């Protein structure tokens, strides 16, 4: 029984991945926006001559003191772009449910001897794999732009795996919402309403210490925050300098968030097709 569910899950996942691979336009568009942010936003600040809010910083002050020890704002921002790709990939993960329902393919899939859980799980896992591929490409681009991963190739791979774990949670959230909505327009409105507050209410672009107190407090309840922090630590800190106790807490929060969202998505999907 378990083997059959795993086989069905992989079949659904592989179908979604084939659609992604064949859609060059989708691949291009999902990479262009993060690339633009990386190139333009990542080079916005110069530590040697910077002012915040029109107030010049004292001579000799290095903004990197506030940016997890990053050598440049680009080095600080690159993990934020990876988190952006993760959030976008996960949030858009529920689109396939609405499309399959509209085209009638979902009914054909449900008529087959396949577990309903496998349908939801396969689509969620495919979103995570796609995000892992996109995050890897963005990370490699950042490295070519001069960003150094302090923990080396092993740390880079671990950062991508953390991004994929976080994506599972947001893909589950998107799937749960898509299971209750019948319109693509309604789904896109809800996803956009969620995506941008989650992105800006996180340390993707600026550290929490530079945010207003109310915003930094709200960011503590944002799962994106707990995904970005360990990814950034792997990029900007060496293995010895990493606060492993804090990282384990962050990973625990991301893991619990993903498990909860996947469970909710599975339950709502099964109810919507029963």
CB 81 within 8 A of CB 185: no
Strand-pairing partners, residue 51, are 56
Question: Using N-to-C axis directions, what is the helix angle for 2-22 and 116-144, rounded to 10°?
Answer: 50
pLDDT of residue 53: 46
Structure tokens at 44: 């916005």
Tokens of 4: 């059959």
- Percent of the chain scoring above 70 in pLDDT: 85
Burial class (CB in 10 A: 0-12, 13-18, 19+), 232: buried
Q: What is the pLDDT of residues 64-76, one digit of tens each?
A: 555 666 667 788 8
pLDDT at position 252 is 96
**Least confident range of 31-35, 38-42, 68-72, 180-184:** 68-72
Kindly tell me if the per-residue pLDDT of 48 is higher than 80.
no
Q: Yes or no: say if 74 and 157 are a contact pair by the CB < 8 Å rule.
A: no
Between CA 212 and CA 233 the distance in angstroms is 23
Res. 196 pLDDT band, cuts 50 70 90 = confident
Model pLDDT, residue 34: 78
CA geometry: angle 207, 210, 212, nearest 5 deg: 120
- Position 49 scores a pLDDT of 46
Residue 142's closest CA among 200, 70, 94, 91? 70
Q: Summarize the confidence of residues 189-210 as an average pLDDT.
A: 84
CB of 90 within 8 A of CB of 30? no
- In this model, does residue 43 exceed pLDDT 60? yes
Find all residues with CB under 8 Å of 3, minimum gap 6, and list them: none
Q: Length of the chain, please?
A: 274
Lookup result for tokens 């772009």: 81
The conformation of residue 242, written as its DSSP 8-state character, comes to S
pLDDT of residue 50: 47
Average pLDDT over residues 72-94: 85
- Could you give the CA distance from residue 10 to residue 151 in angstroms, rounded to a whole number? 32
Specify the 3-state DSSP secondary structure of 237: coil
Low-confidence winner among 111-115, 215-219, 240-244 (lowest mean pLDDT): 111-115
What is the sign, positive or negative, of the torsion defined by CA atoms of 163, 78, 252, 244? positive
């Amino acid at each position: 029984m378990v083997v059959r569910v795993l086989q069905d899950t992989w079949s659904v996942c592989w179908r979604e991945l084939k659609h992604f691979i064949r859609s060059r336009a989708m691949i291009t568009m999902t990479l262009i926006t993060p690339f633009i942010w990386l190139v333009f936003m990542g080079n916005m600040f110069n530590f040697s001559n910077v002012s915040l809010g029109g107030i010049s910083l004292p001579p000799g002050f290095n903004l990197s003191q506030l940016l997890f020890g990053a050598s440049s704002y680009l080095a600080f921002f690159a993990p934020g772009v990876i988190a952006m790709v993760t959030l976008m990939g996960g949030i858009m993960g529920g689109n396939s449910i609405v499309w399959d329902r509209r085209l009638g393919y979902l009914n054909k899939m449900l008529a087959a001897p396949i577990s309903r859980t496998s349908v939801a799980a396969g689509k969620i896992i495919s979103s995570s794999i796609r995000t892992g591929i996109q995050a890897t490409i963005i990370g490699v681009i950042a490295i070519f732009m001069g960003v150094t991963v302090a923990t080396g190739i092993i740390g880079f791979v671990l950062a991508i795996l953390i991004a994929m774990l976080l994506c599972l949670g947001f893909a589950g959230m998107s799937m749960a919402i898509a299971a209750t909505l019948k319109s693509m327009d309604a789904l896109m409105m809800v996803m956009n309403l969620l995506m941008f507050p989650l992105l800006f209410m996180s340390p993707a672009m600026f550290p929490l210490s530079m945010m207003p107190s109310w915003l930094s407090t709200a960011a503590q309840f944002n799962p994106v925050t707990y995904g970005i922090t360990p990814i950034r630590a792997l990029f900007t800190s060496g293995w010895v300098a990493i606060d492993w106790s804090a990282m384990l807490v962050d990973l625990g929060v991301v893991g619990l968030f993903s498990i909860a969202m996947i469970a909710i998505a599975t339950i709502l999907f099964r109810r919507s097709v029963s």
